[in-house]
């Protein structure tokens, strides 16, 4: 059975991985230009299709029937070819966002919810919010409820981001300032790449419920797979696939004092997990074309940190990689969101007396204990877990592997 995804640019799609975990059918990516959509739909032998940007409305005239949800939302993200050859259009994003809203644990009834953006995804979100009896307001760059009128909505309890602001590759920006909303309980961001947009990191730092769009993506795929195959798939598979993807996609970033064992542990961890390993210091040397002590000599610490941030921007945007960072990368505040956007960040702690200083300009120039006191709160802010490297590298790697397994046993 042939199924697939129809869209304009699909290079970064996770759908093939998700559908591979959902059912026993072939799933291909179909990148088609708008002018060839009619020809594609009429002449391609497929049983089921997912439809993504920018064709969710374009495909409607080619469907002989629309499901009630597709009609209500005015967009189709799933097409099934029936036995008589006719096409029926569904909208499984509705189920996807409903499932995400429920999974978030937030209660929506009677609450004020701001929905950022007025595109296709916003329509779906609003249809679900109506069903959940929330009082939603669409915030748009134009019209009466614009970003200049946010002071009228200080009583908002939940924010849903249905804009592409903060999405890869334009990460590190947020569509809204959360400090404006003292009654805020949670933020749902439909973006899933990066896993933690700046908006979600801001929500987390305020101890609010924060959830990305990966759950929605998996849930809508599950419902699509049901339409493709005609078989019911239990909802428990959403969680199974979500956890598998989350683990597969995220990076493991090691931070800690110079000489604490990040590179050696990272290398061994990459091997144990069969994942690529990247050493940020090696990338800095490659980028600069000279050694780290030579960079310090020529450009000082500021020059080194500038190259380091450029390198971190590139390597932290990857997925499924083990990354060892330089000891001082936490000293620049703009590096922290980069470290955290797609990763679990592990702080490797080693007793100060065991830290080597050879070839490490900052460790030689400063008293290690003073350097550590300065950096300790920064490592704390940046990291999700702490792992002690007291005995052997093997022992530290084992502890990390155990912690990773313990997350989704």
Angstrom distance (rounded) from CA 229 to CA 3: 10
- The three-state secondary structure class of 48 is strand
Q: Which of 53, 88, 137, 393 binds ligand NAP (CB under 6 A)?
A: 53
Q: How far is the CB of 95 from ligand NAP (least distance, A)?
A: 11
Angstrom distance (rounded) from CA 17 to CA 119: 26
Q: Which of 95, 192, 227, 228 binds ligand NAP (CB under 6 A)?
A: 192
Q: Which of 6, 184, 203, 217 binds ligand NAP (CB under 6 A)?
A: 217
The conformation of residue 222, written as its DSSP 8-state character, comes to H
Check binding of 223 to ligand NAP (CB under 6 A): no
Check binding of 92 to ligand NAP (CB under 6 A): no
Check binding of 367 to ligand NAP (CB under 6 A): no
Subset of 279-318 contacting ligand NAP (CB under 6 A): none
Check binding of 202 to ligand NAP (CB under 6 A): no
Q: How far is the CB of 105 from ligand NAP (least distance, A)?
A: 18
Angstrom distance (rounded) from CA 310 to CA 315: 9
Pick 214 or 288: Cβ nearer ligand NAP: 214
Q: How far is the CB of 101 from ligand NAP (least distance, A)?
A: 12
**At CB < 8 A and 24+ separation, what contacts does 288-297 make?**
292/359, 292/361, 293/359, 293/361, 296/361
Phi, psi of 186 (to 5 degrees): -165, 160
Q: How far is the CB of 35 from ligand NAP (least distance, A)?
A: 20
Q: How far is the CB of 163 from ligand NAP (least distance, A)?
A: 3
To which residue do tokens 């064709």 refer? 55
Check binding of 175 to ligand NAP (CB under 6 A): yes
Tokens of 161: 């981001």
Q: Does the active-site annotation cover 56?
A: yes
Q: Which of 29, 150, 165, 401 binds ligand NAP (CB under 6 A)?
A: 165
Pick 220 or 246: Cβ nearer ligand NAP: 220
Pick 96 or 266: Cβ nearer ligand NAP: 96
Check binding of 213 to ligand NAP (CB under 6 A): yes
Q: Report CA-CA distances (Å) from 109 to 100, 129, 136, 252.
A: 15, 9, 10, 38
Q: CA torsion angle for 342, 347, 348, 350 (degrees, to 10)?
A: 170
Pick 119 or 172: Cβ nearer ligand NAP: 119
Nearest Cα neighbor of 89 from 106, 114, 69 is 69
Q: How far is the CB of 75 from ligand NAP (least distance, A)?
A: 9
Q: Report CA-CA distances (Å) from 140 to 33, 118, 122, 162, 376.
A: 29, 6, 10, 10, 41
Pick 127 or 220: Cβ nearer ligand NAP: 220
Pick 19 or 350: Cβ nearer ligand NAP: 19
The piece of 84-92, 186-194, 196-204, 277-285 that touches ligand NAP (CB under 6 A) is: 186-194
Check binding of 190 to ligand NAP (CB under 6 A): yes
Site residue total, ligand NAP (CB under 6 A): 24
Angstrom distance (rounded) from CA 330 to CA 375: 8
Q: How distant is the alpha carbon of residue 383 from its chain centre?
A: 17
Pick 27 or 192: Cβ nearer ligand NAP: 192
Sign of CA pseudo-dihedral 340, 335, 367, 391: positive
Q: CA torsion angle for 302, 304, 310, 315 (degrees, to 10)?
A: -140
Which residue of this chain has its Cβ atom nearest to ligand NAP in the complex? 119
Subset of 3-42 contacting ligand NAP (CB under 6 A): none
Check binding of 184 to ligand NAP (CB under 6 A): no
Check binding of 102 to ligand NAP (CB under 6 A): no
Instruction: Please identify which of the residues 56, 111, 198, 262 carries the catalytic annotation.
Output: 56
Pick 4 or 120: Cβ nearer ligand NAP: 120
To which residue do tokens 């990966």 refer? 214
Subset of 110-139 contacting ligand NAP (CB under 6 A): 117-122
Strands in 132-232 per DSSP E: 135-139, 158-161, 186-189, 209-211
The conformation of residue 33, written as its DSSP 8-state character, comes to -
Please answer whether residues 211 and 159 qualify as being in contact, where contact means their C-beta atoms are separated by less than 8 angstroms: no
Subset of 377-406 contacting ligand NAP (CB under 6 A): none
Question: Interface residues with ligand NAP (CB under 6 A)?
Answer: 53, 93, 96, 117-122, 140-141, 162-165, 167, 175, 190-192, 213, 216-217, 220
Known catalytic residues are 56
């Amino acid at each position: 059975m042939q199924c697939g995804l129809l869209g304009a640019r699909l290079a970064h799609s996770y759908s093939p991985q998700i559908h591979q975990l959902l059912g026993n059918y072939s799933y291909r990516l179909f990148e088609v230009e708008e002018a060839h959509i009619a020809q594609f739909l009429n002449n391609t032998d497929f049983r089921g299709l997912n439809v993504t940007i920018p064709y969710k409305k374009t495909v409607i005239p080619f469907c002989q029937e629309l499901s009630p949800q597709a009609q209500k939302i005015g967009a189709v993200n799933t097409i099934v070819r029936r036995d008589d050859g006719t096409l029926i259009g569904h909208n499984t994003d509705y189920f996807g966002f409903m499932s995400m809203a429920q999974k978030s644990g937030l209660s929506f009834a009677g609450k004020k919810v701001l929905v950022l953006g007025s595109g296709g995804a916003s329509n779906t979100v609003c249809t679900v919010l109506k069903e959940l009896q929330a009082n939603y307001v669409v915030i748009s760059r134009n019209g009466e409820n614009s970003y200049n009128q946010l002071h009228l909505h200080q009583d908002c309890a939940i924010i849903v981001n249905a804009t592409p602001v903060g999405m890869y590759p334009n990460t590190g920006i947020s569509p809204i300032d959360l400090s404006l909303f003292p009654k805020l309980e949670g933020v749902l961001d439909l973006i899933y790449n990066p896993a933690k947009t700046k908006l979600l990191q801001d929500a987390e730092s305020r101890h609010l419920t924060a959830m990305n769009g990966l759950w929605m993506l998996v849930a809508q795929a599950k419902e699509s797979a049901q339409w493709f195959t005609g078989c019911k798939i239990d909802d428990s598979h959403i969680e199974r696939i979500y956890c598998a993807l989350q683990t597969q996609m995220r990076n493991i970033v090691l931070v800690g004092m110079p000489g604490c064992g990040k590179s050696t542990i990272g290398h061994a961890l990459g091997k144990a997990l069969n994942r690529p390993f990247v050493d940020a210091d090696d990338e800095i040397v490659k980028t600069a074309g000279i050694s780290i002590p030579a960079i310090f000599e020529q450009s000082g610490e500021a020059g080194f940190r500038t190259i380091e941030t450029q390198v971190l921007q590139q390597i932290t945007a990857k997925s499924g990689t083990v990354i060892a960072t330089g000891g001082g990368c936490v000293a620049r505040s703009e590096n922290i969101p980069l470290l955290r956007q797609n990763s679990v960040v592990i702080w490797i702690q080693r007793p100060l007396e065991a830290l080597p200083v050879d070839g490490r300009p900052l460790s030689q120039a400063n008293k290690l204990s003073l350097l550590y006191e300065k950096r300790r709160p920064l490592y704390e802010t940046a990291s999700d877990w702490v792992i002690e490297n007291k005995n052997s590298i093997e022992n530290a790697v084992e502890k990390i592997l155990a912690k990773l397994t313990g997350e989704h046993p």
